[in-house]
Amino acid sequence: MQEERAAVAEQQAGAGSAPQQGVKKHHGFSGKIGFVLAAAGSAVGLGNLWRFPYLAAKYGGGIFILCYIILAATVGITLLMLEIAIGRKTGKGVLGAFAALNKKFKWLGFLCLVVPVIIVPYYCVIGGWVVKYIVAFLGGASGLVASGGAAVDTDAYFTSFIADPWQPLLFFLIFAAATIFVVVFGVQKGIERISKVLMPLLAVISVALMVYVLCQDGALEGVVYLFTPDFSQFGYETLLAALGQLFYSLSLAMGIMITYGSYMKKDVSVPKSSLQIAICDSAFAIVAATIIIPSIFAFSASSDAAQNALGTSGPSLMFVQLPAVFNNLPGGRWIGAAFFILVFFAALTSSISLVEAIVAVLRENLHLKRWLSCLIVFGLVLVLGVLSSLGFGVLDGIHLELPSGASYGILDMFDYLANSILMPIVAICTCILAGYFIDKNLIPDEIGLQKQGMRVYFRVMVRYIAPVCMAIILISGIVFNLILPPL
Ligand code: PFF
């Protein structure tokens, strides 16, 4: 733990503050693989597994995937490189990083810190549901897993589970404790070590599940549906959905990439690592869609019924529709267990990164020990997470009714505030800071952009294209949820 701080201090020296005497040359991540796997672990999460497949199904299959890949390769990688470079250049957590670049932007650090503070608690609540489903599938829970031809109502099972006053809290506690447990061990011994184990495992389980699903009768129809570009469905909604997903999926604007960047060695290439993170994230999203969509097609009575089932996203797709699908596949109990283990690993590496973004600030700015910082974050997660969890049970009377007709429970409110409002604002302000308020060579030099063309491209992206894209997300997020019904 001391070593990471030494690394941070040493890098601060590189960012222009007085060189620190006697600081050992150590860094957070041991090298490139550790950094890329941890950052990819952060990016690959619930967003890939429950959001991407649903969006791909809704917005024209192949055409959505194509838009997503093009946007990831342009706007996505630019923002990734920018955040990683800000972290590495300043060597600071999110609170100090913006202030180190320009004192007038200290407030942006606070705003950015609020994002993981809001997200981690409810992310751990959903992580808890995932743990419950692993246990239920492994144990063959009678209300969830069909046995001997008896039909089960997966909707009723899920609804009664989340409304239970104690069970979701217990599983939430388990997930939150697992997250904190890894972070207590530090960057190299905790985060890097677990990412090096879980990311390859994630790849093995997801590819195995994909192959299994593709071998089922009727699955091919789903593959055709998923990958055939339906140009008639192409419109600004497709672009908007792809852009929103990109941002969510790459863990941008929540301080994570800045924090991880501050632990990155100077000799690791920022462009190459960013490319690898984006490829890894997109590949997982596409594999997840190739598991989920064909399995729904294989199980549904008709292609219309399959498309109806695909009309749902989020919790309901993952905890209601998919378990029903697994029940109809041979060996469904084990497929279900394997699938939820996959989701668990993906969610764990993401929540670890969210927690580390907060822990880094507590250690750096309040000079607290790592274990104490973790304890404080754990307390915070418990308080806010309990509220989100109880929002489906005891507190389900608390709802925000919007003029658009949408009604948000506590978890939805946190999600909306973080993803649709704060994150786009943070991303826009980050681009404005980097594009207009610091030396124009600072970030391109840190990234290591050699060619003049690349520097111009990066500058145009950061100054004009990325902020405009983010502004569109912000405005549409406000208009299409608060005022008009969601798209
Ligand atoms: N990128 C991760 C995911 O796709 O799940 C992590 C994450 C993104 C967590 C956005 C939370 C969030 F609101």
- Could you write out the DSSP letters of every residue in 357-396? HHHHHHHHHS---HHHHHHHHHHHHHHHHHHHHHTTTTTT
29 lines ligand 1 (CB under 6 A): no
Residue 487's pLDDT is 67
The parts of the chain modelled with pLDDT lower than 50 are: 1-3, 5-26
Task: Tell which atom from ligand 1 comes closest to the C-alpha of 45.
Answer: 5
Q: Are 342 and 206 in contact, with CB atoms under 8 Å apart?
A: yes
Strand partners, 407: 401
In 3D, which of 404, 74, 423 has the Cα closest to residue 244?
Answer: 423
Strand partners, 206: none
Residue 26's pLDDT is 40
Residue 20's pLDDT is 39
Q: How many CB atoms lie within 10 A of CB 2?
A: 11
Cα(226) to ligand 1 centroid in Å equals 23
Q: Which of 246, 251, 343 is the pocket-test mutation for ligand 1 (most atoms within 8 Å of CB)? A: 251
46 lines ligand 1 (CB under 6 A): yes
State how far Cα 290 lies from the chain centre: 19
The answer for residues whose C-beta is within 8 angstroms of residue 308's C-beta and 6 or more apart is: none
321 lines ligand 1 (CB under 6 A): no
Residue 24's pLDDT is 38
Cα(474) to ligand 1 centroid in Å equals 17
Dist. CA 244–CA 68, nearest whole Å: 10
248 lines ligand 1 (CB under 6 A): yes
**In this predicted model, what pLDDT tens digit does every residue of 176-224 receive, in sequence order?**
999 999 999 999 999 999 999 999 999 999 999 999 999 988 889 889 9
Q: Are 80 and 275 in contact, with CB atoms under 8 Å apart?
A: no
Q: Which of 245, 254, 348 is the pocket-test mutation for ligand 1 (most atoms within 8 Å of CB)? A: 254
Cα(117) to ligand 1 centroid in Å equals 13
Q: Are 311 and 282 in contact, with CB atoms under 8 Å apart?
A: no
Q: Which helix (H) or strand (E) holds 92?
A: none
Cα(215) to ligand 1 centroid in Å equals 30
In 3D, which of 167, 122, 141, 470 has the Cα closest to residue 337?
Answer: 141
Residue 84's pLDDT is 98
Q: Are 171 and 362 in contact, with CB atoms under 8 Å apart?
A: no
Dist. CA 258–CA 328, nearest whole Å: 44
Cα(303) to ligand 1 centroid in Å equals 31
Cα(244) to ligand 1 centroid in Å equals 11
Where helices occur in 185-269 by DSSP H, the ranges are 193-214, 219-227, 236-249, 256-262
Q: At what angle do helices 32-43 and 270-299 cross, to 10 degrees?
A: 40
Dist. CA 164–CA 432, nearest whole Å: 46
435 lines ligand 1 (CB under 6 A): no
In 3D, which of 120, 115, 448, 441 has the Cα closest to residue 264?
Answer: 448
Task: Tell which atom from ligand 1 comes closest to the C-alpha of 48.
Answer: 4
Write the CA distances from 270 to 32, 87, 148, 279, 370, integer angstroms: 10, 11, 54, 14, 27
Q: Are 461 and 78 in contact, with CB atoms under 8 Å apart?
A: yes
Dist. CA 447–CA 452, nearest whole Å: 13
Q: How many CB atoms lie within 10 A of CB 230?
A: 14
Cα(123) to ligand 1 centroid in Å equals 8
C-alpha torsion 277→337→313→143, nearest 10: -170
Residue 311's pLDDT is 67
Residue 302: phi and psi, rounded to 5, are: -145, 170
Number of residues that this document lists for the chain: 487
Task: Tell which atom from ligand 1 comes closest to the C-alpha of 419.
Answer: 13
In 3D, which of 306, 291, 255 has the Cα closest to residue 49?
Answer: 291
Q: Which of 248, 281, 356, 417 is the pocket-test mutation for ligand 1 (most atoms within 8 Å of CB)? A: 248
Residue 12's pLDDT is 44
Cα(43) to ligand 1 centroid in Å equals 7
Strand partners, 401: 407
Cα(354) to ligand 1 centroid in Å equals 9
Residue 314's pLDDT is 65
Cα(46) to ligand 1 centroid in Å equals 6
Dist. CA 242–CA 44, nearest whole Å: 16
Cα(420) to ligand 1 centroid in Å equals 13
Task: Tell which atom from ligand 1 comes closest to the C-alpha of 347.
Answer: 5
Nearest CA to ligand 1 atom 7: 251
247 lines ligand 1 (CB under 6 A): no
Tokens standing for residue 199: 């990311």
